[in-house]
C-alpha cells in the first residue's frame, strides 16, 4: 500500500479558502466546458430492471486507493443487487472546482469522498446532507468510536455529522526498538524519557541522531504533535477566541522542541519534508520520528516490524493530549434523488465487513469498534499505540480548526518561512508564536463574527 497522507500534506495541496470556493461556484467565469462535463457525470438515475444507479465522486485518485475503492463498491453491490454505483475520479488539483460547478448548476452526484478540510465550504453552500439522525436510526452510533465521532463533528462549522467516521489518522512517535534495546533503554513513556533518549542515541560524527525534525513542508502537524501535548494545552482557542499558540506553556514546549535542532537532529532537517524524514529514519540516521499512523507500513518495509516501535504523544503536566485525529470517510449530497440507497452505502462503510476492508486497505484506524479488535489492528504497533492512548481515562484530543477558511494558508504556507527562521536562530520561538497567534486569533474572531 502506498503511504497515507498526513493532514498537513492533504491540506497543503487541496485546501482553499471558503470565499474562494463560493466565488468559484457562483462566478460567471466558470468554463462552459467544465460545466458540461460535470453535468454529464453528475446526478443519479434509475437503471434497468428497477435498479438504482448512484454516482460517486472521489477526490483522492491514487491508483492503488482507487482500485481498493472500486473493490469496496463491488462488495457493496454484491450485498445490494438493486443498487449500482458509478465511480468518477476527480483531478487532484481541480476537484473543488468541479464540485462547486456541480453545486452551482444543481448537478451534484449522490456520494463524495471529501476531505475534512472541505467540509466548511461545502456546508456553507448547504451541499451535504447531515447524517446524525440516520446514524442514530440505524443503530450505528453506539458501534462507532466516540473519538472519531467527536473529531468528525468538530470539523464541521455547525458541529453536525456530514462525513462518515469510517477511518481516521492519529499521531504517534516512532522509535527504533533495536537501538533502544542495544542502549539498554526502555521504550519512551514520558517527555523526560524522550529527551534522554534523543541525547543518548545521538552520534553526530557517524551521522546518527536521536530524532528527525520536520523543518520543511508540512511542518505544522509535527510541530503541534510535539508541542501541544508537552504543554498540556488541549485547544487551539480560548473562550474569547484568542489563539493558544502564545500560551506560556506552548512557548516553553516549543523552545524545547527547537533546542533539538542541530544537536539531536541533523542540520539538514531544516528543509525536511515527509519523504526526507522517512528516509532518515529508515536509513539508520535517526532513532525517533513523529508522524501519523499512516506511515507505519513505510517504516516496516524499510526496517522490519521488529525494529519499529510506536508510542502516542506523552502526557503533559496535568493531562494527556492526543493529536492528529482526522477522519476520512464518505458524504452524501443534499440534492441526491436516492438518499435512502446512498445511505445504505454510507452505512456499509461503517459496518464490520465494509469498514474492515476499507480501513485495512487504507492503513487507517477503523471507525467500527468491533473492527478495532481485529488482529490486523492489534498487531499494528502504531494503531495499537493510538487506540490504547485514546482509551485512557481523562485523555483529551486537540481538534484542529479546519473549519477556518484561513487556517491552512496560515499554518501551511505563511508560517513555514518563519519556522525555518526559528530553527536557524534568527527568530525566537516567542516572537514566532506571538505573530502566529495574532494571525489565528484574527481568523477565528472574524469567523465567529460572521457566524454569530
Which of the four pLDDT bands, split at 50, 70 and 90, describes residue 57? very high
Cell 510541530 locates to 223
pLDDT of residue 13: 39
Rounded to an integer, the average pLDDT of 280-286 is 96
Comparison of pLDDT for 354 and 451, the residue scoring more = 354
Runs of H (alpha helix) within 283-373: 296-303, 339-350, 352-362
Quote the DSSP letter at residue 139. Answer: T
Asked which of 14-28, 63-77, 188-202, 293-307 is least confident by mean pLDDT, the reply is: 14-28
pLDDT of residue 116: 86
CA 430 to chain centre: 27
Nearest alpha carbon to residue 208 among 198, 194, 196: 198
Q: Determine the 3-state secondary structure of 85 from DSSP.
A: strand
pLDDT of residue 46: 52
CA 354 to chain centre: 21
pLDDT of 276 higher than 50: yes
Q: Compute the distance between CA of residue 181 and CA of residue 184 in angstroms, rounded to an integer.
A: 5
Which of the four pLDDT bands, split at 50, 70 and 90, describes residue 452? low
Rounded to an integer, the average pLDDT of 159-172 is 96
pLDDT of 377 higher than 90: yes
Comparison of pLDDT for 209 and 12, the residue scoring more = 209
- Residues 6 or more apart whose CB falls under 8 angstroms from that of 91 comprise 61, 98
pLDDT of residue 164: 98
Q: Compute the distance between CA of residue 230 and CA of residue 321 in angstroms, rounded to an integer.
A: 8
pLDDT of residue 403: 86
Rounded to an integer, the average pLDDT of 336-344 is 97
pLDDT of 203 higher than 90: yes
Q: Compute the distance between CA of residue 265 and CA of residue 279 in angstroms, rounded to an integer.
A: 14
Tell me the pTM. Answer: 0.85
Q: How many CA atoms lie within 13 Å of 93's alpha carbon, on the beta-carbon side?
A: 0
Rounded to an integer, the average pLDDT of 370-376 is 97
pLDDT of 300 higher than 90: yes
Q: Compute the distance between CA of residue 210 and CA of residue 195 in angstroms, rounded to an integer.
A: 9
pLDDT of residue 50: 61
Residues 419, 222 contacting (CB under 8 angstroms): no
Which of the four pLDDT bands, split at 50, 70 and 90, describes residue 79? very high
pLDDT of 279 higher than 90: yes
Percent of the chain with pLDDT over 70: 89
Expressed in angstroms, the distance from the first to the final Cα of the chain is: 44
Model confidence pLDDT, tens digit, residues 234-251: 999 999 999 999 999 999
Amino acid at each position: 500500500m502506498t503511504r497515507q497522507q498526513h493532514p498537513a500534506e492533504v491540506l497543503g495541496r487541496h485546501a482553499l479558502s471558503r470565499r474562494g470556493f463560493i466565488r468559484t461556484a457562483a462566478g460567471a467565469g466558470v468554463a462552459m466546458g467544465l460545466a458540461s462535463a460535470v453535468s454529464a457525470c453528475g446526478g443519479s438515475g434509475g437503471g434497468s430492471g428497477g435498479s438504482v444507479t448512484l454516482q460517486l465522486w472521489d477526490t483522492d485518485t491514487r491508483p492503488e486507493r482507487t482500485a481498493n475503492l472500486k473493490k469496496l463498491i463491488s462488495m457493496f453491490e454484491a450485498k445490494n443487487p438493486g443498487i449500482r454505483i458509478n465511480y468518477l475520479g476527480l483531478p487532484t488539483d481541480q476537484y473543488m472546482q468541479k464540485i462547486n460547478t456541480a453545486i452551482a448548476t444543481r448537478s451534484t452526484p449522490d456520494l463524495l469522498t471529501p476531505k475534512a478540510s472541505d467540509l466548511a465550504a461545502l456546508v456553507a453552500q448547504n451541499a451535504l446532507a447531515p447524517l446524525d439522525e440516520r446514524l442514530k436510526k440505524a443503530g450505528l452510533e453506539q458501534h462507532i468510536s466516540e473519538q472519531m465521532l467527536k473529531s468528525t463533528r468538530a470539523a464541521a462549522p455547525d458541529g453536525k455529522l456530514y462525513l462518515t467516521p469510517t477511518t481516521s489518522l492519529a499521531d504517534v512517535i516512532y522509535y527504533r526498538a533495536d537501538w533502544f534495546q542495544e542502549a539498554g533503554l526502555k521504550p519512551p513513556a514520558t517527555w523526560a524519557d524522550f529527551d534522554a533518549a534523543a541525547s543518548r542515541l545521538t552520534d553526530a560524527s557517524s551521522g546518527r541522531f536521536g530524532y528527525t525534525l520536520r523543518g520543511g513542508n508540512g511542518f505544522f502537524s509535527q510541530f503541534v504533535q510535539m508541542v501541544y501535548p508537552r504543554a498540556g494545552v488541549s485547544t487551539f482557542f480560548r473562550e474569547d477566541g484568542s489563539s493558544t499558540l502564545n500560551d506560556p506553556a506552548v512557548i516553553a514546549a516549543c523552545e524545547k522542541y527547537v533546542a533539538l535542532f542541530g544537536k539531536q537532529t541533523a542540520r539538514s532537517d531544516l528543509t525536511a519534508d515527509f519523504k526526507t524524514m522517512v528516509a532518515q529514519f529508515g536509513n539508520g540516521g535517526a532513532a525517533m520520528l513523529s508522524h501519523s499512523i499512516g506511515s507505519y507500513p513505510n517504516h516496516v518495509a524499510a526496517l522490519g516490524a521488529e525494529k519499529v516501535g510506536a508510542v502516542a504523544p506523552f502526557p503533559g503536566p496535568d493531562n494527556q493530549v492526543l493529536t492528529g485525529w482526522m477522519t476520512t470517510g464518505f458524504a452524501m449530497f443534499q440534492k441526491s434523488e436516492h438518499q435512502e440507497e446512498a445511505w445504505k452505502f454510507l452505512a456499509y462503510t461503517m459496518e464490520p465487513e465494509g469498514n474492515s476492508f476499507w480501513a485495512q486497505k487504507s492503513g487507517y484506524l477503523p471507525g467500527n469498534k468491533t473492527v478495532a479488535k481485529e488482529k490486523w489492528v492489534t498487531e499494528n504497533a502504531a494503531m495499537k499505540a493510538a487506540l490504547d492512548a485514546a482509551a485512557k481515562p481523562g485523555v483529551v484530543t486537540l481538534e484542529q480548526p479546519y473549519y477556518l477558511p484561513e487556517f491552512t494558508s496560515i499554518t501551511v504556507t505563511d508560517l513555514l518561512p518563519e519556522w525555518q527562521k526559528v530553527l536557524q536562530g534568527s527568530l525566537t520561538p516567542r516572537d514566532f508564536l506571538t505573530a502566529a497567534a495574532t494571525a489565528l486569533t484574527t481568523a477565528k474572531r472574524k469567523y465567529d463574527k460572521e457566524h454569530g
